[in-house]
Amino acid sequence: MLRTNSKLCRRALTRSYATATSPHALVFLEHRGGVIDSGSLSALTAAEQLGGKVSALVVGSSEHVPGVVEQVKKLKGVSSILHSTSAQYAEPLPETVSPLVEKILSDSSSGFTHVVSATSSGAKSLLPRVSARLDAPTVSDVTSLSHDATSGSTTFTRPIYAGNAISTVRAPGTIPIKFFTVRSTAFAPASADGAGAEATSAEPVEVNDATTEHVKTTIAKSDRPDLGVASRVVSGGRALKNAETFEKTLYPLADALGAAVGASRAAVDAGYADNSLQVGQTGKVVAPELYMAIGISGAIQHLAGMKDSKLIVAINKDADAPIFQVADVGLVADLYDVVPELTEKLRK
Amino acid sequence: MKPSPARLLNILVPVKRAVDYAVKIRVNPQQTGIDTNVKHSMNPFDEIAVEEAVRLREKHKDAVKSIRAVTIGPPKSVETLRTALALGADSAVHVQVPEAAPSPEPLAVAKTLKALIEKHNAEASKDGPIDLVILGKQAIDDDMGVTGQHLAGLLGWSQATFASKLEVDVGKNEALVVREIDGGGEEVRCKLPLVVTTDLRLNEPRYASLPNIMKAKKKPVQTLSPSDLGVDYTPQLETLKVTEPPKRVGGGKVANVDELIAKLKEAGIEAA
């Protein structure tokens, strides 16, 4: 098969090319106010593993897009950048952005075989909306993947049942464009040593008479590292009693460790911590170097969000709490005694 | 133009029968799936969806014309519909699939819902069309979280995912929705018809009372087959295997804070 000069062989190659195009991924790259979301950097790495070209799609307002495009140019693995600017994309609602993505994908000359994003709240809202219009499934929250260029099929693994089982699914070559979202803790973020990909602008698709209008966004401000990407996380549960004790007990420890703060559902429901800090099946999934679970019993739904952490430390009064079954280091003690002591001793 | 006073809401609430959230699941030895011979109940996010529909009726009274629950699943799924009826839905549709059939993929579910909505809208012109579909943001078994968005895409409707607050203005024919997003919240104003997916924060579902459970037995449940709706359930994705995740073994306990710090140091973790 190495005789490429033979006409016969060349024809055979052309034919095989027609049935299974080499992969070309479109990564929906998210940014907030011009800063690229770290999850999108992991999505780029996952897209690169398909073994073909990787294009990044950047949408937003004219104020932010040029800066983001400059940042994306420097990222490793990006072969080209597609950007689209419109005042309508300043707050990228699925209803306004999906017509653009649909148009890009419907253009047969673009040759996209995969659409990739982080499993973020924004992309989770957008990708399935677009994929349904193209009669394709969206595979959510994949943790590994492999692409078979001959058959055009892609195999994914993804957690199901709150991470208590791992499903391996194959999207066959008959699905021309495969949509998937990527669990960012399972892929390293793309590094910034790229060669400077070429950027092309795509005409925005203006949506007249939009059915949905953005009113406002409220982002919980914090000086601590972002929960999703922090290398250390200190999490609190119901045992923290109230918002004040939650703050008073956990924040000094988090600060001493340079850690992000997380919470169990019980703590969030009781109002001790903001919703965006919830770790678990229905909240954030984290996999830091260090996860400290303080006053958290360790329900299935919570474990789903943190059991891939490298070192799990649990502090709980109840020696039978399920959290101790996954903790590398457990301390059975009253958190009100030991957390201040730990903070104090760490600071020394 | 004056908004029509006769505007009435018809709400569709898709629900799914899933393995109960408290069950510790086991992968079967053939690695084809999990042992499903365990307690099942309504997907928790769907309970929130039913509750929200019922609360809309309590708030808007007669403006809510109908609340219809729908499920797609084996014969046993009718229990889930009875639960929805006991919680306050008026009627239910059961799209029945054989016991042994795999659970339909989200896109097939979305197509079924679209077909049901079109069927309703064509048949019940006097009741008015379906204005609002409230679904859970994800099923806790497949954890896909895509059905609502698929449906909104297929119908070309507005969508409000991960809703933590829903206010419907029947007169204006729109809804104000607060959504849970990464890092905080977002408020959007959507025109009806609308697809909403529920976050845990949306409400606290009520318990069905015994009289309501008894009454639910008399409420109508229509049984349909996928072919009645012209939907094909052949999976697009092929499940190759289902495996146990790598086991994590607890590393034992330490006696005091000093030992804890020693363990942290061993792992290379020091104060920042």
Confidence of residue A20 (pLDDT cuts 50, 70, 90): low
Confidence of residue A129 (pLDDT cuts 50, 70, 90): very high
Chain A nearest CA to B53, separation (Å): 21
Cβ–Cβ below 8 Å for B271 and A138: no
Angle, to 10 degrees, between the axis of helix A335-347 and the axis of helix A243-257?
30
Alpha carbon B15 to its chain centroid, in Å, reads: 5
Q: What is the mean pLDDT of chain B?
A: 94
pLDDT digits (tens, 9 = 90+) for B224-233: 999 999 999 9
The shortest C-alpha distance from A1 to chain B (Å) reads 31
* pLDDT given for residue A4 in this prediction: 43
Q: In this predicted structure, what is the pLDDT of residue A220?
A: 78
pLDDT value at residue A6: 44
- Give the model's confidence band at A17: pLDDT under 50 very low, under 70 low, under 90 confident, else very high: very low
- Each residue's pLDDT tens digit, B66-110: 999 999 999 999 999 999 999 999 999 999 999 988 899 999 999
Q: Is B258 on the interface with A (CB under 8 A)?
A: yes
Q: Select the residue of B159, B180, B250 nearest A94 (Cβ to Cβ).
A: B159
% of chain B at pLDDT higher than 70: 97
Taking only the tens place, the pLDDT of each residue in A311-340 is: 999 999 999 999 999 999 999 999 999 999
Q: Does B266 touch chain A (CB under 8 A)?
A: no
Which residues of chain B have a CB within 8 Å of the CB of A226?
A: 183
Q: What is the ipTM of this complex?
A: 0.94
Specify binding-site residues of A for FAD.
Answer: 238, 264-265, 278-282, 295-302, 316
Contacts with B237 from chain A: Cβ below 8 Å: 137, 139, 169-171
Burial B51-69 (b: 16+ CB within 10 A, else e): bbbbbbbeeeeebbbbbbb
Lowest-confidence pick of A334-348, B185-199, B238-252: B238-252
- Tell me, what's the pLDDT at B6? 57
Q: Which residues of chain A lie closer than 8 angstroms to B242, CB-CB?
A: 160, 165-168
The C-alpha of A236 sits at a distance from chain B's nearest C-alpha, in angstroms, of: 18
The pLDDT of A75-81, averaged and rounded, is 94
Q: Do the chains contact at B250 and A212, CB–CB below 8 Å?
A: no
- A245/chain B closest Cα distance in angstroms: 20
Rounded to the nearest angstrom, the minimum Cα separation between B93 and chain A is 23
- What's the CA gap between A234 and A104, in Å, rounded? 42
For residue A149, what is the DSSP state?
A: T
The answer, yes or no, to whether residue B46 has pLDDT greater than 80, is: yes
Mean pLDDT score of chain A: 92
Question: What does residue A2 show for φ and ψ, rounded to 5 degrees?
Answer: -90, -5
Contact B191 A212 (CB under 8 A): yes
CATH 3.40.50.620 describes domain B9-234? yes
Give me the pLDDT at residue A200, please.
93
Residue pLDDT, tens place only, B118-152: 999 998 667 899 999 999 999 999 999 999 999 99
Report the pLDDT averaged over residues A251-272. Answer: 96
Q: What is the mean pLDDT of residues A162-183?
A: 97
Structure tokens at A123: 């992309």
CB contact under 8 A, B140 and A218: no
Cβ within 8 Å of A, B 218-247: 236-245
What's the pLDDT at A229?
Answer: 87
Pairing of strands B64-73, B174-181: unpaired
Note the pLDDT tens digit of each residue in B192-231. 999 999 999 999 999 999 999 999 999 999 999 999 999 9
- Do B143 and A141 make contact, defined as CB atoms within 8 angstroms? yes
Terminal Cα-to-Cα distance of chain B (whole angstroms): 63
Q: Which residues of A touch B140 (CB under 8 A)?
A: 161-162, 281
* Domain residue limits, chain B: 9-234
Only one residue has tokens 């958290």, namely A296
Q: Is the pTM of this model over 0.90?
A: yes
CA distances from A177 to A97, A173, A277, B261 (A): 18, 9, 34, 50
Residue among B150, B153, B117, B146 at smallest CA distance from B132: B117
Q: What is the rounded CA–CA span in Å between residue B227 and residue B115?
A: 11
Report pLDDT for A326. 94
Question: What's the whole-number mean pLDDT along residues A188-201?
Answer: 89
Q: Do A307 and B248 touch (CB under 8 A)?
A: yes
A94/B242 Cβ within 8 A: no
pLDDT above 90 as % of chain B: 87
Of the two residues B257 and B249, the one the predictor is more confident about is B257
| Contact criterion met (CB below 8 Å) for B236 and A259 | no
What are the residue ranges of helices labelled H in A151-242?
none
